[in-house]
Structure 1
Amino acid sequence: MELSELNELDLNNIGEWPVPVKAIAIVLLCSVAGAAIYYLDTAAQLERLDTAQAKELELRKTFETKQKKAASLNAFRQQLAEMKESFGAMLRQLPDKTEVAALLVDVSQTGLAAGLEFELFQPEGEKLKDFYAELPINIKVTGRYHEFGSFISGLAALPRIVTIHNVKIASPAGERGGEDAKLQLQAQVKTYRYLDETATK
Structure 2
Amino acid sequence: MDLRDLNELDLNNIGEWPSAIKALVILIGCIAIGGAVYYLDTQNQLLRLDQERAKELELRQTFETKQRKAANLDAYRQQLEEMKESFGAMLRQLPDKTEVAALLVDVSQTGLAAGLEFELFQPEGEQSKDFYAELPINIRVTGRYHEFGRFISGLAALPRIVTIHDVKISNPGGERGAADAKLLLQAQVKTYRYLDEAATK
Give how far 1:20 is off: 1.7
The reply on whether 1:104 has 2:99 as its aligned counterpart is no
Q: In structure 1, how many angstroms separate the alpha carbons of the residues matched to 2:113 and 2:136?
A: 21
> For 1:7-49, what per-residue CA distance to the aligned partner results, in whole angstroms no more than 9, with x for missing partners?
3322222222222222222212222222222222222222222
Give how far 1:159 is off: 0.4
The reply on whether 1:2 has 2:5 as its aligned counterpart is no
> For 1:37-68, what per-residue CA distance to the aligned partner results, in whole angstroms no more than 9, with x for missing partners?
22222222222222222222222232233333
Q: After the TM superposition, which of the residue ranges 28-37 and 155-164 deviates more from structure 2? A: 28-37
Q: Give the AA of the match of 2:99.
A: E
Give how far 1:162 is off: 0.6
Q: In structure 1, how many angstroms separate the alpha carbons of the residues matched to 2:3 and 2:129?
A: 101
Q: In structure 1, how many angstroms separate the alpha carbons of the residues matched to 2:46 and 2:113?
A: 86
Name the CA shift for 1:24/1:129 in 2 (closer, same or farther; >3 Å): closer
Q: Give the AA of the match of 2:91.
A: L
Map 1:1-201 → 2, pairs under 5 A: 1-173=1-173, 176-177=175-176, 178-201=178-201
TM-score (norm 2): 0.89
Number of matched residues? 200
Structure 1 runs, 4 residues or longer, greater than 3 Å off: none
Q: Give the AA of the match of 1:69.
A: K
Q: Give the gaps of 5 or more residues in structure 2.
A: none
Q: Give the AA of the match of 1:81.
A: E
Give how far 1:81 is off: 1.8
> For 1:132-161, what per-residue CA distance to the aligned partner results, in whole angstroms no more than 9, with x for missing partners?
121222222221110110010000000000
Name the CA shift for 1:181/1:3 in 2 (closer, same or farther; >3 Å): closer
Q: Percent identity among equivalent residues?
A: 79
Q: Please state whether the residue corresponding to 1:179 is helix, strand or coil.
A: coil
TM-score (norm 1): 0.89
Q: In structure 1, how many angstroms separate the alpha carbons of the residues matched to 2:146 and 2:129?
A: 34
RMSD: 1.9
> For 1:89-117, what per-residue CA distance to the aligned partner results, in whole angstroms no more than 9, with x for missing partners?
11100111111121112111111111112
Q: Give the AA of the match of 2:179.
A: E
Q: In structure 1, how many angstroms separate the alpha carbons of the residues matched to 2:114 and 2:14?
A: 121
Q: Please state whether the residue corresponding to 2:175 is helix, strand or coil.
A: coil
Q: Give the gaps of 5 or more residues in structure 1.
A: none
